[in-house]
Amino acid sequence: MSDVKKVVLAYSGGLDTSVIVKWLQETYSCEVVTFTADIGQGEEVEPARTKAEALGVKEIYIEDLREEFVRDYVYPMFRANTIYEGEYLLGTSIARPLIARRLIEIANETGADAISHGATGKGNDQVRFELGAYALKPGVKVIAPWREWDLTSREKLMNYCEQHDIPVDFSKSKKKSPYSMDANLLHISYEGGILEDPWAEAEEDMWRWSVSPEAAPDTPTYVELTYEKGDIVALDGKAMKPHEVLETLNKLGGANGIGRLDIVENRYVGMKSRGCYETPGGTIMLKGHRAIESITLDREEAHLKDELMPKYAKVIYNGYWWSPERRMLQAAIDETQKNVSGVVRIKLYKGSASVVGRKSEQSLFDESIATFEDDAGAYDQKDAEGFIKLNALRLRIAAGKGRQQD
């Protein structure tokens, strides 16, 4: 007899999680609560209610979390200019702590004994969901069906559906998408299929959010990003909520062929994985944020922040959003953003996002000092001689001892 009476499942309404509902009911003889989050995946989430009801689910949570997702997770991450392994903008990683938090909150609200998810035993998401869950509710039981059952292929999943009268939107005769995809407001990812060969070029018809750079308009698009304390608050002078900003930038970027990425990354579980990503809005946001920081941050402040960023990125990628080290890093990052306000103008053209202007009342750029024209004595060039000699002192001493560089 299972000690699990009720479990909250992160439920998409797709094949895998529909099978999981029935599997949980049978294996654990428990009541299942489903939780479906709208974080901007671009698909209707309300049909999940009908599917869950058909499976006998009585407590169904469907929530629009788009604004919270961008405001409380994406924006804080972008204040750090966060990229993993030099390229990946962490679109999947940053969505997991929000989902984990709501799973735990719903478990508390409904008196559930456990939570469950559909992440496989090979990926990072199982780690992210469960690290978040344990950080927020130490004694919670986590059920990960992919680590327990023997339904290891699509054919077995479909047979299970037939045996248990599970309603699904496709049959064996319907062609399966060759890719495993995950989408939210920040990105859409593609894995599997021909992408498992790192030498094979992704097919053009795979991409869903962007045109190819070759097919992008011949006329550039300009957009102005207004920042307050590191966050975008308006586009082209029009005030917008965080999720509206990202939605708009996704459309502008996608229409101009911006944001495609093809990488091989190192998963936390140890294997390398090839994936393709579309992050049009995020690509523009990263360009814009670095540009406004370039005129508002002190040099050493900016350089130290850049040194912290890879650690911060790794913390998020590996699933430690709710850890003390992430909170510590976030506090330091947020401290740097007090004066990061102003406007950045970006040119979007055939796959590139180029900064073409930046201004701020908090700018540390002093034209009277930086000018190549007459600076009226604002900077005494003779001072540079002593500066250079002092900084060369240790090099001169070493060279005087015969320690020549090879």
| Catalytically active residues, by annotation | 16, 96, 125, 180
How many angstroms separate the CA atoms of 184 and 268, rounded? 21
Strand partners, 188: 183, 278
The single residue listed with the structure tokens 């009720």 is: 6
Which residues, at least 6 apart from 196, have a Cβ–Cβ distance to it below 8 Å?
Answer: 274
Identity of the residue numbered 223: V
Q: Do the beta carbons of residue 35 and residue 61 sit within 8 Å?
A: yes
Q: Cβ-count burial of 93 within 10 angstroms (0-12 exposed, 13-18 middle, 19+ buried)?
A: buried
Distances (CA, A) of 372 to 128, 299, 379: 52, 21, 11
Half-sphere exposure of 143 (CA within 13 A, CB side): 26
Identity of the residue numbered 140: V
Q: Do the beta carbons of residue 21 and residue 35 sit within 8 Å?
A: no
HEC readout, 102-114:
HHHHHHHHHCCCE
Identity of the residue numbered 78: F
One DSSP character per residue, 7-56 reads EEEE--SSHHHHHHHHHHHHHH--EEEEEEEESS-SS--THHHHHHHHTT
How many angstroms separate the CA atoms of 302 and 292, rounded? 11
Strand partners, 169: none
Give the three-class secondary structure for 144.
Answer: coil
Six token digits for residue 1: 């007899």
